[in-house]
Amino acid sequence: MSSAAPHLLKGKVALVTGSSRGMGRQNAIALAQHGASVVVNYVKGAAPAEEVVKEIESHGSKAIAIQADISKPEQVEKLFTEAVKHFGQLNIVMSNSGLEHFGAIDEVTPADFDRIFNVNTRGQFFVAQQAYKHLSNPGRLILISSISAQATGVHNHAVYSGSKAAVEAFARCFACDFGSKQITVNAIAPGGVKTDMYVEAARKYIPGGDTWTDDQLDKAVNAFSPLGRMGYPEDIAKVVVWLASDYAGWVNGQTIRISGGAAV
């Protein structure tokens, strides 16, 4: 990191949903490394979220952990109210929360469908609604999709892929809705990122992958990208920081695919 990096988001306050682990954790830390104060959101288990807070504070930024279940609109409202009450303002919202899902078409239940859409789609809508009410002018809203939303079809992945495709439509429409407030709205669509959920999820994308060793799995995922490697949370966080910064002030209504060229 350059010596100028901590000043990129200086004076800004960012809220990152689902930021106690995985990509959300790294997004929160990266925003803090570039000067933002951060609201770390978690659903359950305060300890990992508090560890993220300590990591952020070690970089000289301020942070607070707030519990809220994004699938419940009343808790989303409470999350934003507490965030603004604590920091006095809100400049950046990174809607990171999401659930993975695979299920055969003849086995998916209404409960399965609702569980995924309540977080991935409905949850992000109501996060955006609160962002509209609370973000300062100018502001940034970043939603999370997946390359699954537009990639070649994957067996048993319709519910998840559909839940993410809707988010890309949200980004386009919200860009119009938020424009008068000088708030940009964009989505990111990661692909092939090695997080704590990677091993289980990646195997399901590859026919027969459930019998592979970890090394075989890594080799296959690396081959998806023309660059010959999988992604890491840091790769995603760099784009999030850029979208949150003044450098991306003219980027609006877009979905940015962060996949190393996989599924091009």
Please report, to the nearest 10 degrees, the dihedral formed by the alpha carbons of residues 21, 27, 29, 30 taken in order.
150
Among the listed residues 42, 160, 198, 205, the single catalytic one is 160
- Our answer to whether residue 145 is catalytic in this structure is yes
Identify the three-state secondary structure at position 218: helix
CA distances to 36, 93, 159 from 127, in Å: 20, 9, 20
Q: Residue 124: which of 177, 190, 171 has the closest Cα?
A: 171
* From 95, 146, 225, 259, the catalytic residue: 146
Task: Give the chain's radius of gyration (CA, Å).
Answer: 18
Catalytic-residue membership of 161 = no
Is 37 known to be catalytic?
no
Catalytically annotated residue among 71, 145, 161, 225: 145
Active site residue 10: no
Separation CA 149–CA 243 (nearest Å):
20
Beta bridge partners of 140: 92, 184
Q: Give the Cα separation of 33 and 20 in Å (integer).
A: 16
Instruction: Out of 12, 71, 163, 164, pick the active-site residue.
Output: 164
Active centre residues (catalytic)? 145-146, 160, 164
